[in-house]
Structures are given as C-alpha cells and as structure tokens.
Structure 1
Amino acid sequence: MMAKTVLLDWDGTLWDVLEFMLETYTHVFNHFGLRVWTREEYREKFRHDWRDMLDDMGLAEHEEYLVNYWEDKIRYDRPMAYDWVKGFIEETAKEHALGVVSSAPRKPLMRELDRNNILEHMEVVVSGDDFEDRKPSPTPLLYATKRLGVKPEDCIYVGDMVEDIQACRQANMPVIAVTWGLHSKSRLEAEKPDHLVEDPVELMEVIKGDG
C-alpha cells in the first residue's frame, strides 16, 4: 500500500552537502596535523552526531574551531539541494503529505528549505533544536506523526544514514535508504532498510508503490 505521508531527511538526502563537508573536515584535519580521510573513508566513518566524531579523533576541545570554519565557509559557498529535488517534491506533494525530520538546527534548516523553494510544500518541519533526543531515537519521527495526525506505519521516511534506519525501526515506520548521501551503501545495507535506492527515479517508484 502506498504510504499516505512521506517524511524526509535533509542533509545528504535532499541537500547536496557531502562535498562541502568533505572540504570542511579536510581543512580541519590538515589544520591539526591529522591524516585526511578519503571520500570513501569519510562515508564509512562519519557519525550522525559530528561531536562524537570529533571526540573519536581527539578533537573534542576544538569544536569551536570547526563550527566557526563551517559558518564562515557557508557564507560564500552554500550547498544547494540536488537539482532534481524541487521537481521531486512538487510531484510527491500531489499525492502525499510531506514533512522534514532533520537533526539540523532550526534556523539554518528553515532558511535553506525556503531558499531551495521546498518549505512551502512541508506540512511539518522537525529540527535538531526541538528535542534533546535525536536520531537514532524515534522521538522526532513520532512527534512529526503526532503533529500530522497519522500513524507511523502509514508513513515512509527517506534518509541517508544508518541512524535514520535505526530510528524508523524503533518508530515502526517503513524506511527508504538512499545511497548518494553521507553514509556508504555497505553501511546502509547492513542495517537492512525496507528499501535501498540508488537514484531519484527509483526513489519515486518506491514512493508511488511501483518499486
């Protein structure tokens, strides 16, 4: 049965941020004399909570440096949504209620959704500022379903990280994992999502119930 509601992750799933993040961490690793990760290593090692990753690298005390560099870089080098996203959102919104559930801070999340002409189609937006519990906790997903008045099992979530899959499992919500984002295909496969898709055409087919 086709899901009534489609909930979407932002970073990496709709927002083309992988190369931007690679450049950011390359700069930080170089600055502190650490070996720079390859693109493949990054997708294998990236943690959903970047603070945990800094701790793994022994850089927890330098969190402010990373944040300041990120904020300076994004002023002149803003990532955009993938070029297919606007059409995908407009088409999907014809038959489904849509929402975004992201761990990103609310202010920049709302700004980027608006800048990419996506915000107007969203019936709910849940940000990382709304709860202390973040994915893989199911709390943000369950809050979105409560706001929309739907059951988790009548929704489907689209994400690019293992924590997205884990959160959906706990929420009893079907999940589509996409392979173009921040986590590698092998990491996603290991979590056994309901669907694993490799391009936007396949994503649309699954959402329509044809995949």
Structure 2
Amino acid sequence: MVVLWDLDGTIQDSESLAKEGTRHGFRTVLGRVPTSVELAQLVGRPVPVVYKEWFGDELAQRILEVGTRFYEERAHKIPIFLGIADVLSRLKATSVMGVVSSKRRGHVLRELESQQLLALFDVIVAQEDTARHKPDPAPLLLAAQRLGVPTKDSVYIGDQPTDILAAAAAGMRSIAALWSDNRVSRFEGAPPTAIAHAPSDVVAVLSQMTHHMG
C-alpha cells in the first residue's frame, strides 16, 4: 500500500506559526490583521493563490514576502505531533510513502529535513508541481503517477476537508487526522474512509484497510 501524507496539521503542528506570519504580513503591509474568516479561508489552500484572489498580484506579493520572511526565520522551531516520528518509521518498513502538500517545495523539504524525516518519503509533491490544488485531485494523481502505482492502492492522510475531497476525487482511500484538535464535525461535508484520533491509530487503521483491500 502507498501511504501519502499531508504536512501541516498532520505531520507537524505549524498552524500557530502560519497564522502569526499571516498576521505579520497583513499588519505590515495593510495596517490591519486578518479576520477570522480570512484565516479560515487560507487553511488547506496555497496562500499565494488565495492572496492573489483577494488583493491582485502586486499587493499579494508584498504581503506574501513579509509574512514568508517572518515564517522562515522561525520554521526550524515547528514541532511535529507526538508519536508521528514513530509511526512514520514503522510504516517505512512496509509501505511506500510520500508527502503531498499545498506548501512550496523549499519549505516542505527544509521542514522535513529539520525533523530528520525527509529520507522516509519516496515522493514529495508541493505547490509548484501542479496548476490545480486540493481539493482538486491533481497533486495526489501526480504523486501516484510518479510512484507508478494505481490510485486504488493509495491512502491519503490529512487534517482538512480539502484533503479528504482530493483523495475521493483521485480514487484514493482517506484517513482524517484528528490529532490537531479532535473536531470530527469539520468533515461532515467530506466523509473520510476512516478516522484516526491519534498518530498511533494510523497503523491499525491502515492494517484494516489492507485486509479489506485484499
């Protein structure tokens, strides 16, 4: 089985730093902080794409540069979720694994490397790799293509409805990662194949999926 992972909110707990960077960019360039609605709309989508929709190219670029600089100066301090490293190491022995993220490739590589996790993954699909992004299936389809595997033999693990919708559209099974806030309700419009309340649940869930696939 191929196990594909989302990065932010699934492997690492980066939400608070991402929000701080967004606030810093808004405050510096716009003279205000983002609203709660704006912050919610940034979750699970590429930030540059959303900024361009809101502000146009030039202003979006200025906000992005300021916020990104703030984020990058502190990214080495992003923690991974408790138990994730152990689960990834265990799965590596039996599974092909990859990361599919809406984040830019440089960030993905640096952040996985800083946690000594990069070598565990056989493929990385990042923001620059596809023109369309989650919930569109394009990034997941590209990961399966690069690995040379059928999507029906792949599982995507993510913490947002966009992850689950992308997996369904790609013909993949999905696992909703609830360990960041344990809110099942956000998946009401995007039901996953299975749910994991803690990283340690993933191994058992995948074992059940493998049994049913067999």
Alignment TM class, shorter chain as reference: 0.7 to 0.9
Q: Secondary structure at the match of 2:133?
A: coil
Report the CA distance between 1:99 and its aligned residue. 1.0
- 1:50 aligned to 38, 47, 50, which one? 47
Moved more, 108-117 or 167-176: 108-117
- Unaligned runs of at least 5 residues, structure 2: none
Q: Which whole-Å deviations, capped at 9, do the CAs of 1:69-92 have from their partners, x for residues lacking one?
A: 332342135313224222111011
d(CA) in 1 for partners of 2:152 and 2:209?
A: 18
Moved more, 80-89 or 114-123: 80-89
- 1:10 aligned to 7, 10, 17, which one? 7
Structure 2 equivalent of residue 143 of structure 1? 142
- 2:62 aligned to 61, 64, 82, which one? 64
Which aligned pairs between 1:162-201 and structure 2 lie closer than 5 A?
162-181=161-180, 185-201=184-200
* Distance change >3 Å, CA 101–CA 43, structure 1 → 2: same
Report how many aligned residue pairs link the two structures.
Answer: 205
- 1:75 aligned to 73, 79, 82, which one? 73
Report the CA distance between 1:67 and its aligned residue. 3.0
Q: Secondary structure at the match of 1:199?
A: coil
d(CA) in 2 for partners of 1:99 and 1:5?
A: 8
Q: Which whole-Å deviations, capped at 9, do the CAs of 1:17-65 have from their partners, x for residues lacking one?
A: 0111232234445553346539xx9558735233465467x55534422
The structure carrying a bigger helix percent of its residues is: 2
Q: TM-score, normalization: structure 2?
A: 0.81
* Distance change >3 Å, CA 189–CA 204, structure 1 → 2: farther
Q: TM-score, normalization: structure 1?
A: 0.82
Q: Which whole-Å deviations, capped at 9, do the CAs of 1:131-166 have from their partners, x for residues lacking one?
A: 212222212212221222221111111011221111
AA aligned to 2:101 is: S
d(CA) in 2 for partners of 1:130 and 1:93?
A: 24
AA aligned to 1:163 is: T
d(CA) in 2 for partners of 1:107 and 1:52?
A: 17
Structure 1 equivalent of residue 112 of structure 2? 113
Q: Secondary structure at the match of 1:209?
A: helix
Paired residues of 2:44 and 2:102 also in contact (CA < 8 A): no
Report the CA distance between 1:9 and its aligned residue. 0.9
Q: Percent identical across equivalent pairs?
A: 26
Could you say which structure has the greater relative contact order, defined with CA pairs below 8 angstroms and 6 or more residues apart?
A: 1
Report the CA distance between 1:93 and its aligned residue. 0.9
d(CA) in 2 for partners of 1:96 and 1:73?
A: 32
Q: Secondary structure at the match of 2:88?
A: helix
Structure 1 equivalent of residue 129 of structure 2? 130
* Distance change >3 Å, CA 29–CA 108, structure 1 → 2: closer
- Unaligned runs of at least 5 residues, structure 1: none
* Distance change >3 Å, CA 187–CA 44, structure 1 → 2: farther
